[in-house]
Amino acid sequence: MGMTYQPPNPLVLYEQATGTQCGTGESAMGPFYCPRDSRVYLDLTFFQELSSRFNAPGDFAQAYVIAHEIGHHVQNLLGASEQVLQAEARAGSRRSANRYSVALELQADCFAGVWAAHAGEVSGGKVALEPGDLDEGLRAAASVGDDTLQKQTRGRVVPDSFTHGSAAQRQHWLQQGYSTGDPKACDTFTEIR
């Protein structure tokens, strides 16, 4: 896209709680990216949960989670995060604000797929996808879909309250990024304009 990539600051592994420029990070929040200090924060117990509670084990399931968060870093560099915050503030209802949030999250999934498509070349061969890896990622994407989580916790699904997208949407956009390898194919926002 003619821009120079600025890497984020090194990822922070923590247990239970940690101070960040975005307030206190807690395990219960799951992994997150803080744009103010340009870092991803991760409590490794999330990976145990992903494997046991969410039934999505595997190294690539974990790689997808980190790549999704770095996707938010890329959105920060592109200015997409800021535009979404403004659009959410202008949105007349919680429901339409949520649609922007979903588009932003699905784009981060798509960027994770773009990374996976290029992981071998950008790492000089240190990272290589093996057979079954993409399936691990797709299983993880489905397991953190809003409908999957709502079914588990509330017993019913309320699509208007989605903030990250359904299992099917998350799988679709991860796959889209992976099969195209092109960030331009990650325009998740056209559907809500």
Q: Which of residues 97-156 bind Zn ion (CB under 5 A)?
A: 105, 108
Cβ 72 to Zn ion shortest distance, Å? 6
> How many chain residues are in contact with Zn ion, going by CB under 5 A?
2
Q: Are strands 17-20 and 12-14 parallel, antiparallel or unpaired?
A: unpaired
Looking at beta carbons only, is 130 or 191 nearer to Zn ion? 191
Q: Give the Cα separation of 153 and 148 in Å (integer).
A: 9
Q: What Cα–Cα distance (Å) separates residue 93 from each residue in 96, 159, 165?
A: 5, 14, 18
Distance of CA 45 to the CA centre of its chain: 17
Looking at beta carbons only, is 2 or 83 nearer to Zn ion? 83
Q: Are strands 23-26 and 17-20 parallel, antiparallel or unpaired?
A: antiparallel
Looking at beta carbons only, is 60 or 173 nearer to Zn ion? 173
Cβ 125 to Zn ion shortest distance, Å? 29
The number of residues making up the chain comes to 193
Task: Name the region of 34 (left: φ>0; alpha: ψ -120 to 50; beta: rest).
Answer: beta
Cβ 130 to Zn ion shortest distance, Å? 25
Looking at beta carbons only, is 82 or 132 nearer to Zn ion? 82
Looking at beta carbons only, is 44 or 132 nearer to Zn ion? 44
Residue 19, strand partner residues = 24
Cβ 165 to Zn ion shortest distance, Å? 10
Q: Which of residues 88-107 bind Zn ion (CB under 5 A)?
A: 105
8 A C-beta contact, residue 165 and residue 105: yes
Cβ 126 to Zn ion shortest distance, Å? 25
Give the footprint of Zn ion on this chain (CB under 5 A): 105, 108
